[in-house]
Amino acid sequence: MPGTENRLMLLDTASLYFRAFFGVPDSIKAPDGTPVNAVRGLLDFIARLTTDRGPSRLVACLDADWRPAFRVELLPSYKAHRLANAARNIEEVPAALEAQIPVILEVLTALGIAHIGVKGFEADDVIGTLATRDKGPVDVVTGDRDLFQLVDDDRGVRILYTARGVGRHEVVDETVVTTKYGIPGRSYADFATLRGDPSDGLPGVAGVGDKTAGTLITRFGSIDGLLAAVDDPEAELSPTLRRKIADARDYLAVAPTVVKVRHDVPLPDYDDTLPQAPADPEALVELANRWGLDSSLNRVLNAFNPDPA
């Protein structure tokens, strides 16, 4: 039941609406024939997650800048393969999905769900700031492993990882990170920096995969500790690995800042309380009628206000 322990749920909104767009048939259309599979799918995800996890607070976090300048300046390859227009820094997004994003924002507003995007920052940075400032507990909903870096058992920050589907999401805490990757639970960012991530244009250190990255982070504690070991002839580091890390020194000087989510995003005023009633009922009815969203919106409203019986 929602509202049982002041739990905050943070949605990686783009991750969810991309999953909805590609997972829900495009035969789901508005009365005028416009596809609304991403809108309907996202709403159904919100209803399911709210029912399953019972947050009392909810924020939909947005990419106001999907490829921020501060990251690109440090690492020009960052997300470069996803550019539809390099001159304008525009992401390649299917036209049928792009047309649904404004509808998603209108629906969130009419429902009264807080949604936050901050110019110059990704949704990950908004999530990082909210998660680290909150007193907890916090659930971060995402299909992106990058956010594993936020897990914090002491503060109750965990990831609801949706790679296998929203209904089959995996709860990721420090123990799960350690079990999966053989690293301390809060060391994911340094681990990911070493291993790299082609989906984000992060090359990593050549010849260093998951196993080696995990061993190095466990042994030396951090990227800084590893670089210090490269310069220490007594450090327990094979000649081959010593050379690989030394060759990647320029990359390792900038990549941690690219990989680590920000915790200092200037946030606007917001109310993260799970809405007990729509903020704008008339607008919601109009949106429901125009886009054929009745059933999905009813599921959300019922999830926010479950039958006490």
Task: Give the tokens for residue 228.
Answer: 């210090």
pLDDT at 1: 45
pLDDT at 4: 52
pLDDT at 145: 94
When computed from its CA atoms, the radius of gyration of the chain, rounded to whole angstroms, is 21
Contact 109, 280 (CB under 8 A): yes
pLDDT at 172: 98
Contact 14, 146 (CB under 8 A): no
pLDDT at 308: 58
pLDDT at 84: 78
3-state secondary structure of 135: coil
Cα angle: 105, vertex 106, 108; to 5 degrees: 65
Distances (CA, A) of 89 to 80, 116, 203, 216: 9, 21, 20, 35
Q: How far apart are CA 289 and CA 230, in angstroms?
A: 64
The amino acid occupying position 231 is D
The closest of 281, 285, 278 to 300, measured between CA atoms, is: 278
Distances (CA, A) of 280 to 108, 277, 286: 10, 9, 10
Which residue ranges in the chain fall short of pLDDT 70?
1-4, 307-309
Contact 55, 46 (CB under 8 A): no
Q: How far apart are CA 218 and CA 202, in angstroms?
A: 21
CB 226: neighbour CB atoms within 10 A?
A: 22
pLDDT, one tens digit per residue, over 91-144 is 889 999 999 999 999 999 999 999 999 999 999 999 999 999 999 899 999 999
CB 224: neighbour CB atoms within 10 A?
A: 12
Q: How far apart are CA 288 and CA 291, in angstroms?
A: 6
The closest of 63, 66, 38, 56 to 139, measured between CA atoms, is: 56
What domains sit in the chain, N to C, each tagged with a CATH number? 8-177+262-304 (3.40.50.1010), 185-259 (1.10.150.20)
Q: How far apart are CA 208 and CA 221, in angstroms?
A: 16
pLDDT, one tens digit per residue, over 28-56 is 999 999 999 999 999 999 999 999 999 99
